Structure 1
Amino acid sequence: MMSQDIEGYENNLELDLFREYRDVMHLFTYVVETERRFYLCNQVDVQVKPVGNDVFFELRLTDAWVWDIYRTSRFVKNVHVLSFKDVNIEEIAKSDLELP
């Protein structure tokens, strides 16, 4: 395969993933962003764990959807995440889901 073919294939996967995200977003309550992944979920528990002068974040997500083009199944019942950088958690406002 040529590099253009691979790039086109990955672009199509990314577009399909965005469409799936748009279609399932209304099923979830929270958006969670870590340094490695982007999740939608209905329940999130965050624990800040100190380690010396640093901290890490332990997250437990329930009923999650994972933004990952290479996963065969993006819906996950329970997710356990360790993050060593900032974590962004936002509650999805139902008004944000209305399309113009």
Structure 2
Amino acid sequence: MDDEVFEDYDRELELALFKEYRDVVSQFQYVIETERRFYLANDVNVVRRDTEHDFYFEISMTDVWVWDIYRADRFVKSVRVLTFKDVNVEELQRRDFQLPEELSLDS
């Protein structure tokens, strides 16, 4: 197989993942971004943990959808993440659930 076939396959997976995200985002209350993953969750708790010379974040999420192309089942009951990097948590509002027309794949 040549590189173009793999690129086409990855593009198709990415598009399918975006469509799935678009279909499920209205079921969730929070968007959580870490350096490695993007999550949707209905409950999230972030705790700063201090060590002797540094600190890290412990993120606990329940009722979770994980943005990951290669994951067979993106719906997870609970997720726990430990990270030394930035964490972004946003609470979604009803108006955030609508994608702008320019992002619509149905037009």
For residue 26 of structure 2, what is the aligned residue in structure 1?
Answer: 26
Q: What SS does the corresponding residue of 1:72 show, helix, strand or coil? A: coil
Q: Which runs of 5+ in 1 are unaligned?
A: none
Alignment of 1:24-63 (within 5 A): 24-63=24-63
CA RMSD of aligned residues (A): 1.0
- Counting matched residue pairs gives 100
SS at match of 2:35: coil
- What fraction of aligned residue pairs are identical, expressed as a percent? 55
1:22-78 deviations in Å (ceiling 9; x for gaps): 000000000000000000000001110112332111011000000000000000000
Instruction: Give the SS at the match of 1:14.
Output: helix
1:88 aligns to 2:88 (yes or no): yes
Matched, 1:2 2:2: yes
Point out the structure with the larger strand share: 1
4+ aligned runs moved over 3 Å, structure 1: none
Query: Hey, what does 1:67 align to over in structure 2?
Result: 67
1:67-96 C-alpha deviation (Å, 9 max, x unpaired): 000000000000011111010000011111
Amino acid at match of 1:32: I
Q: Which amino acid aligns with 1:36?
A: R
2:18 is paired with a residue of what secondary structure?
helix
Once the two structures are superposed, residues 9-34 of structure 1 have per-residue CA deviations (whole angstroms, 9 ceiling, x without a partner) of 01110010000000000000000000
Deviation at 1:98, TM superposition (A): 3.0
